[in-house]
Amino acid sequence: MQVDLKAFAETELNLALAGIVEKNCFKYMEIFRKKQTEFSELGNEDFALMFGLLSEVASMWLDSEKNEPLKPMMVFEGRETATPQNIKDEFIELLANFLPHIHDPELNARVADILWLRKRDYLSGKQAISTYLSAAQNLEGTEHWISQVIKRVERSIQLARQLNDHDGLQNAINYLKYILERYKADSSLEPYVLLHVLDLLEKYKLMKENAGGFAALAEIGATEGERQKNWRIAQQYWRNKAKWHQLEDNGEKARLALVAAAEVDVYQAKQAADEIPPRFLASTAFIEDAITALRRIGGQQERIDELHNLLIQYGQESLKQMGEISFSMDVKSYVDKARNAVTRRTVEEALTIWLQLADFPALDRLRAEAKRNIAEYPFRFLVSSRTLNDLGKTVTRQTGGDLESDEIVRDEMLRLATIYQEADVASVIGPALYQINIEHNIRIQDLLPVLENNPFVPIGHEDIYAKGLVAGLRDDGLVAAHLLLPQLESSLREILILSGKITSGLGNDLIQDEYPLSTILYWPELVNIFGADVVFSLRALLVERYGSNLRNLMAHGLMQHKDFYSYRITYLTWLTLKLLMGFLSIPA
């Protein structure tokens, strides 16, 4: 390729970027792709290649994970779009030669970061620190600017620490100070501005000497959020305040801030109950959130008892509002409606709707349908049958015999449950998730509000759940399965322990081994907590030979690579997130 890189940057690149108000790589990507097409049609393959490379560079998502900050835009069926690791070596060298001629801070920071990540080029990494900060400044005032600014400042902090660049780190801190002062002076700025800055400072333990002052700022944000009935932001501010008090070793003030955060759930519950029509089911969920939070804080039994009475009241009212809705439609219309239901929504709204698009098959319905199949097609159940796995081994065997035996009915119910799970993924869960991924880049931060303070998530497991869910939502089934299956098993044990059940045995040698999932999924205590429909779906998906048997197949290495990109992993992701979102609404 024969391209004068300096001339290309000063003419074609600058011309392509001219007039763009929101200077971020996502905007650049579309422009670069159009330019690639234009020059390809004109027969200028060198310029087309340059813009094609730049579009790949711009397509990566800037994430907060310091070891993998630039993520692929899409992961599909085991394949991924551009990352720093999969760009060809010759193109890395081309980017290194092109970097000195890139004057746009956003693109310069991206290329410099790629060179640091790929080549560990110190000067490129150091350059990225300053250009990320310049790119952040250019984004001020654009739509949703604070979240984009914080991403770039955070990346500059990560690089400064990795490179031991004290000046670069101080520049990042000074910029955050500037935003804080600007927020104090301009009350019209959105309340998330202050919260983002305080969260970032606390995350990296910066300016710890000002912990008391930052806690006071967080309290101002929390009380203002409550005044505006912006409950989510109020709660986040209270939790941030608690973290600053913990940094200054003031446990009592931290505890009071966490109590205030829990009380925000009570405010939300009362507001939902006062709406017309009232949303008592939502009220019960909020009260359970509050009770869970107060239990974790400790020393709040009197308040918990008060809220328990309120929970009973809301629960009784919610029963009066429940009804049954049924409808039928062809698969195509179902797919279209599923996609339309989640389009043009925020990530939170889209995922909430996504979880509501399907439900667990009712056990009574499965039993009735199984008996009907046995009655209508008796020959299939009279003869012996077996199921073979990919290795040709028999994994299930059904002996012909009594058509009314509980075993035959149960096996058919498991088969039907698996069919319904696959059908749900094909008709609604999968299409809706595809639409969500077109419109959003789902990040770990989007899922943390669901995981934090959730009794279904053992303390310290939040990030593992988040990474597994993000992988599943992005169709990276290999990662999702390996993270979510152990966590789901751990959570089920945690819930059983909280209900008073001992989940380990005691051998003659006094060793206390945990009971396996294939045992605890058949304990009646689990049915009492989740309901028979949910538990049967869990059995069918995870441990039953006549179902998907996902947990056992994965644990014993019996799944091929392609198996991790099937409906089963998508359903696992949906099921896990549905349990996380819906668990608190299940009566204690």
| Cα angle: 120, vertex 125, 127; to 5 degrees | 150
Position 517 scores a pLDDT of: 83
Q: What is the mean pLDDT of residues 102-117?
A: 97
Give the list of residues 6+ apart from residue 117 with CB closer than 8 angstroms, or none: 69, 70, 84, 85
Tell me how long the chain is. Answer: 588
Position 396 scores a pLDDT of: 40
- Hey, how many other C-beta atoms are within 10 angstroms of the C-beta on 320? 8
Residue 50 counted as domain residue? yes
Which of 164, 184, 212 corresponds to the end of one domain?
164
Q: Which amino acid is at 91?
A: F
| Cα angle: 370, vertex 375, 381; to 5 degrees | 75
How far apart CA 247 and CA 204 sit, in angstroms, is: 11
Pair 401, 378: CB distance under 8 Å: no
Max mean pLDDT among 15-19, 139-143, 582-586 falls in 15-19
Q: Which amino acid is at 235?
A: Q
Residue 218 counted as domain residue? no
Q: What is the per-residue pLDDT across 547-556, written as a single tens digit (0 to 9) for each?
A: 888 888 888 8
Q: What is the pTM of this model?
A: 0.60
- Measured in whole angstroms, the distance separating CA 19 from the mean position of its chain's CA atoms is 35
- Hey, how many other C-beta atoms are within 10 angstroms of the C-beta on 494? 17
Position 450 scores a pLDDT of: 87
Residue 220 counted as domain residue? no
Residue 394 confidence class, pLDDT cut points 50, 70, 90: very low
Minimal CA–CA distance to 17: which of 102, 87, 116? Answer: 102
Residue 390 confidence class, pLDDT cut points 50, 70, 90: very low
Which of 164, 182, 217 corresponds to the end of one domain?
164
Q: What is the per-residue pLDDT across 426-462, written as a single tens digit (0 to 9) for each?
A: 889 999 999 998 888 888 888 888 888 888 888 889 8
Position 383 scores a pLDDT of: 44
How far apart CA 533 and CA 522 sit, in angstroms, is: 13
Phi, psi of 352, rounded to the nearest 5 degrees: -60, -45
pLDDT at 385 over 50: no
The residues pairing with 388 across neighbouring beta strands, listed in sequence order, are 394
Residue 101 counted as domain residue? yes
How far apart CA 152 and CA 460 sit, in angstroms, is: 27
Which stretch of 49-58, 100-109, 383-392, 460-469 has the lowest confidence by average pLDDT? 383-392
Residue 74 confidence class, pLDDT cut points 50, 70, 90: confident
Residue 196 counted as domain residue? no
Position 164 scores a pLDDT of: 96
Residue 304 confidence class, pLDDT cut points 50, 70, 90: very high
Residue 290 counted as domain residue? no
Phi, psi of 176, rounded to the nearest 5 degrees: -65, -35
Which of 164, 182, 201 corresponds to the end of one domain?
164
pLDDT at 506 over 90: no
Position 510 scores a pLDDT of: 44
Average pLDDT of the chain, as a whole number: 86
Position 495 scores a pLDDT of: 84
Which stretch of 120-124, 127-131, 208-212, 442-446 has the lowest confidence by average pLDDT? 442-446
Residue 563 counted as domain residue? yes
Query: What are the Cα distances from residue 329, in Å, to 199, 326, 332, 358?
Result: 47, 11, 8, 14
Domain extent, residue 412, equals: 347-367+401-585
Q: What is the per-residue pLDDT across 1-45, written as a single tens digit (0 to 9) for each?
A: 688 999 999 999 999 999 898 999 999 999 999 999 999 999 999
- Measured in whole angstroms, the distance separating CA 88 from the mean position of its chain's CA atoms is 30
Q: What is the mean pLDDT of residues 532-554?
A: 88
Residue 180 counted as domain residue? no
Domains of the chain: total:
2
